[in-house]
Amino acid sequence: MKIVPILIMLMMLIPWGIASPQDITPDEIIDGNITASDPITDQKTSNFNGSSNYTFIKDIGDAKGVEVINVHFKNAFRGADSNLATVDRIWQVSDTNSSQVIINNSRKVIITSGTPLLLEEGYELAIKSIDISGVRVTLELSKNGTVVDSRIITPPQTTDDLYTYSKNIGSAKDIEIIRVHFKNVLRGPDTNLGAIDQIWQASDTNSSQVIKNDSDGLIFTSGTPLKLEEGYELDLKSIDIDGHKANVVLSKNGTAIDEAVIIPPDTSEVELNKTLRAYEDAIKLDPVYWYNKGEGLFNSKSYNEAIEAYNKSIELDPKNDTIWLRKSIALQAMGNTREFVKTIDKAIGLNQSNGLAWLLKGSVLAMTGKYDEANKALDKAIGLNQSQELNEYALMMKVGTLWGVGKYDEANKVSDTIIGKNQSNCAAWLSKGQILGDWGMKTKTLKNINESIKAFDKVIELAPRSTYAAQAWYFKGNDMKYLGLDKEPIKCYDEAISFDPEYLPAWIEKADSYFNLGEYGGAVQAYDEIIKLNSSIEYVWRNKGIALEHLGQYNDALEAYNHAIDIDPTDARAWFGKGYSLNNQGDYEGAIKAYEKVIERDPKDAGAWNNKGNALNKVGKYDEAIDAFNKAIEIDPKDALYLRNRGNTLDLLGKYDEAINSYNKAIGIDQAYSVSMVGMGNTHYNAGEYVAAIKYYDEAIKQDPKDYNAWYNKADALRMLHRDSEAKAAYAKARELGYSGTMTLMEMTAN
């Protein structure tokens, strides 16, 4: 049921981006948002178009699929307290008359999470959320206050390192009066840095008068704005968590008049070090400097060097729990969990109310399987006075730890607590469904399975066009499968795949469902789709081979088994399937070798010994075949098939008494085994005991009236007793039932 105890636990792993100790938000704790209002963005959704353009299409009268709105996004920025995006082109036609263009504007417009883009005819385009990387923007279009569309776009992440400001001066429109070029930016713990290498400014009353033109490099910080002429200041409001984008605000005489997103070029380590050295000259003995340096090094994934910088900061300010906290994160980024725990404990020792430290400790302990210790830490985090969102993450982590140790009832209660506070929390509903389903399957409790399905239906109701819905459909399919519903699971998996065509678990379950239903054509098609996504899953190739065998496509089956063996040469089941395919193609020596590979890996595989015996029979190695059958019978003496096959071989060797003994044992195990009855009849026939042979043929016919071999062999025995009219009728019955062997002299001369 569960792929991992809970998806959120995985997302608690580091590396982290840079964060200020006074400005750490829940979104900076986990690499992705797990909230109902912000869908997971590391999986595809049907409303994701991978484009920098937002388009809205609707039917207008008889015209189908008319593009009504097209908005181009230049970039996007995720901030600690506000998200914003730059729009540089807007186009709109009337939604009642598609030939009427009502907006066609190429001017720059900034929209934020609190100020939507106002369009015509009652439409508004709002930023619903931006993912933690600032790459994917979730937009909502509403008309007259009602949401009509939701979509994810991806504005370009290309370099945009020049800030410009234009205004109208007299009758002249859009005159550029300020131009500032950014070399790089750096996010620090208490302050952010911006490195500038060019400033140009013209007077806002006379644009021909250049009042500033400076190419000397300088650094300004979020606490000290860049002073320009005529009352203008450029403030570094914030830098995103990865340190790649900056949000700058221009003000005049203390009033903000413009803002923008700056994306400097990828900063090389050399350039970053230059920025750091310039800052170091000013505040080299300040612990904040070393902290900033550590953050910069962490951001460039130089974790050892970052830890050294944090240690310098700790030497200067040993009682600062935030520095200890950030050092612990760097240690965990290196995979040094033992030192992480020691360091995070130091941070907690300095500040017992540091809920973030408790949460981090609990999450990492949970990832290492130390669930009891993790629960204690998470309880501390939950008990502290934190934001609702941070508490929610802690509770979700607790759900995972309780689930991980099989405490389903407690995990379910915690999920209910989260849902009680936020009925639209899709992640909580999804985890509740998984817990109940897993619990129900473990305890065979149908009530829990049905409640699990209800929880998944709630997810689908709350967020029908999200990756939550894709996962809910997938897990609902698993529940349906457990309930033994034939086609319903496949429908659920198809729904999941419709959201994400590369949703591998859904493809696998769909293929296996077809396979288990005996619909091998559908299974092969689904396995082929899986192979397109990932060709290195051994059992997919093996199951495809089995399905192809059932379809009689032995060459293709053999190819599939060979792929499986290439991936895992130790897979006995793939070798078994290969042996079966080779046997069906008449390559008996090849089949023998394949079955020997199975036996090498599992000497107790009775089926492999039996099939090897059959292949040995085909090449006339009867004594070796009997040894193989004896081995199969020794492993599983209750299988009538092995006894019957040994009887057949003994009959071929003329050892009729031994053959009859073997057949009798087979019949003793399964009296309804008509094939053994035919074999017994054949042995009596070969021994010249025709009356006894007819007795066993009649018993075989009684068990299976359509067994044409029994009818034909009975006819031969009747001919030997000169009961020709009965023989003639038996020959005719065999032919009627489908016997297609060459007509023998005995059949031709029966009167």
Listed in sequence order, the DSSP H helices in 192-318 are 269-283, 287-299, 303-316
In this predicted structure, the answer to whether residue 409 has a pLDDT above a threshold of 70 is yes
Long-range contacts of 616-620, Cβ-Cβ distance < 8 Å, separation of 24 or more: 616/588, 616/592, 617/645, 617/648, 617/649, 617/652, 618/583, 618/588, 619/588, 619/589, 619/592
Residue 685 reports pLDDT greater than 60:
yes
What is this structure's pTM? 0.53
Q: Do 76 and 130 touch, CB atoms closer than 8 A?
A: yes
Q: What is the DSSP letter of 511?
A: H
Q: What is the pLDDT of residue 331?
A: 92
What local confidence, expressed as pLDDT, does residue 1 receive? 32
Under 8 Å CB-to-CB from 200, ≥6 apart: which residues?
178, 179, 180, 210, 212, 213, 214
Q: pLDDT band at 277, cuts 50/70/90?
A: low
Confidence of residue 652 (pLDDT cuts 50, 70, 90): confident
**Amino acid in the structure at residue 551:** L
Contact 325, 312 (CB under 8 A): no
Task: Specify the pLDDT at position 234.
Answer: 87
DSSP tag of 28: G
> What's the pLDDT score for residue 43?
30
Instruction: Give the pLDDT band of residue 324 (cuts 50, 70, 90).
Output: very high
Classify residue 631 as left (phi > 0), alpha (psi -120 to 50) or beta. Answer: alpha
Q: How far apart are CA 693 and CA 674, in angstroms?
A: 13
**At 20, phi and psi to the nearest 5?**
-85, 140
Measured at the CA of 634, the angle between CA 629 and CA 640, to 5 degrees, comes to: 65
pLDDT tens for residues 16-25? 333 333 333 3
DSSP 3-state assignment of 602?
coil
For residue 62, the model assigns a pLDDT of: 85
Please determine, for residue 556, whether its predicted confidence score (pLDDT) is greater than 60: yes
Task: Name the average pLDDT for the chain.
Answer: 84
91-118: average pLDDT:
89
Residue 42 has pLDDT above 50, yes or no: no
pLDDT tens readout for residues 709-722? 989 999 988 988 88
Strands 63-78 and 232-239, bridge-based pairing: unpaired
Q: What is the dihedral of CA 388, 390, 393, 399, to 10 degrees?
A: -70
pLDDT, average across residues 284-306: 84
Report pLDDT digits (tens) over 90-102: 999 999 998 899 9
pLDDT for the residue 34: 27
Residue 350 clears pLDDT 90, i.e. is over it: yes
Query: What digits encode the pLDDT tens for the residues 469-501?
Result: 999 999 999 999 999 888 899 999 999 999 899
Whether 527 contacts 544, CB under 8 Å:
yes
Residue 291 predicted with pLDDT over 80: yes
Q: 507-520, pLDDT tens digit by residue?
A: 999 999 999 999 99
Least confident of 44-53, 309-318, 408-417, 625-634: 44-53
